[in-house]
């Protein structure tokens, strides 16, 4: 289960991706967006690869959950 700070990193990371693409997603702009130091990033994740792996898993779970909820609401 992700911590609140990790969730903030994920939310901001996805926003940066949507606005600036893959090339815009870097540690310093991400930390500036979250308003924390790079030390907080490295306290939350083992490194960049760990962040990316967890970000993708977060995105997959969130999207899957939304699809399931939408399907359950559809009575057809």
Q: What is the pLDDT of residues 4-19, one digit of tens each?
A: 999 999 999 999 999 9
> Whole-number mean pLDDT of the chain?
92
- 26 in helix, strand or coil? coil
Q: Round to whole Å and give the CA distance between 58 and 51.
A: 10
DSSP assigned state of 35? T
Contacting residues for 31 by C-beta, under 8 A, at least 6 apart:
37, 38, 40, 41
Q: What's the whole-model pTM score?
A: 0.84
Report percent pLDDT > 90 for the chain: 78
Look-up of token digits 């009575």: 75
Q: Is the pLDDT of residue 45 over 90?
A: yes
Q: Round to whole Å and give the CA distance between 66 and 43.
A: 30
């Amino acid at each position: 289960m992700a911590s609140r700070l990790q969730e903030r990193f994920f939310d901001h990371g996805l926003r940066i991706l949507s606005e600036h693409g893959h090339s815009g997603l870097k540690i310093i702009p991400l930390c500036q967006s979250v308003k924390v130091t790079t030390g907080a990033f490295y306290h939350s994740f083992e490194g960049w690869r760990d962040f990316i792996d967890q970000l993708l898993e977060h995105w997959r779970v969130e999207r899957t959950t939304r699809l399931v909820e939408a399907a359950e609401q559809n009575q057809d």
